[in-house]
Amino acid sequence: MTIQRPALPVVLSAPSGAGKTTLARMLVDRHDDVVFSISATTRPARPGETDGQDYHFVDDNTFDRMIEHNKLAEWAVVHGRRYGTPRQEITDAIQQGRTVVLDIDVQGARQVRKMFPDALMVFVLPPSARELARRLTGRASEEDLERRRRLDNARNELRAVSEFDYVVVNDDLEQAYTEIASIVRAEWSRSDRLRDLDEHTRGMIAELDEIIRQSP
């Protein structure tokens, strides 16, 4: 009998441009039993994005219906568009004993923490304000107004950093990935997350008793 890895919602938040989406994808790509929570959004797809893979791209009416029917675990307006986590993305993963990574903003992170108090909350910091601004300029899809909006939003997101369990600075992508992966792995080993730990150790103790009994 082996100890079951705990099901774990992992929230990654950061100002736009800090690299959290790339980090979230790396975590999923490099672990078989880690899945990405695909959000619904009313923003249009960017070039290269695929519906149902990067996001569920929906219109306002559909998003309204999702809220009405209580289909969203959390939702928020970010940069003037609505984004939300389908409740099923989390509950399915938990039922399957998997780790699910949520790439969401701070408003959403707070809602998830309330609903799933044992969620792991990680904040990704850019190495500096200048680097954050530079990364946002480098995005082909960002218009000037949009870039300004994201910079303003970054100020507010940064204020929430102390609400998170862990903070990782994304200066070097591989290094930041290694830190996040280590944090997640450590959480997998926490005794208070291992639901079948008692049963497992009871089984071991019973086996040991048997070994002792048969010993000369």
Q: How far is the CB of 111 from ligand 5GP (least distance, A)?
A: 7
The rounded Cα 88 to chain-centroid distance in angstroms is 15
By CB under 6 A, the residues from 38 to 77 that bind ligand 5GP are 39, 43, 74, 76
Chosen residue from 10, 42, 99, 103 binding ligand 5GP by CB under 6 A: 103
Which span sits near ligand 5GP by CB under 6 A: 103-111, 159-167, 188-196, 203-211? Answer: 103-111
* Pairwise CA distance, residues 156 & 167, whole Å: 16
Helices (H), 96-143: 106-115, 129-137
Tokens of 160: 């929430």
Residue 36 or residue 177: which is nearer to ligand 5GP going by CB? Answer: 36
Phi, psi of 34 (to 5 degrees): -115, 130
Q: In the bound complex, what is the minimum distance in angstroms from residue 16's beta carbon to ligand 5GP?
A: 5
Least distance in Å: CB of 43 to ligand 5GP? Answer: 5
Closest to 28 (Cα-Cα) out of 133, 102, 138: 102
Interface segment toward ligand 5GP; rule CB under 6 A; list 26-34, 83-91, 171-179, 200-208: 83-91
Whether 125 and 170 have beta carbons less than 8 Å apart is answered as yes
Please report whether residue 78 would count as binding ligand 5GP according to CB under 6 A. yes
Whether the CB-CB separation of 176 and 122 falls below 8 Å is answered with: no
Provide the binding-site residues for ligand 5GP, judged by CB under 6 A: 16, 39, 43, 74, 76, 78-79, 83-85, 103-105, 107-108
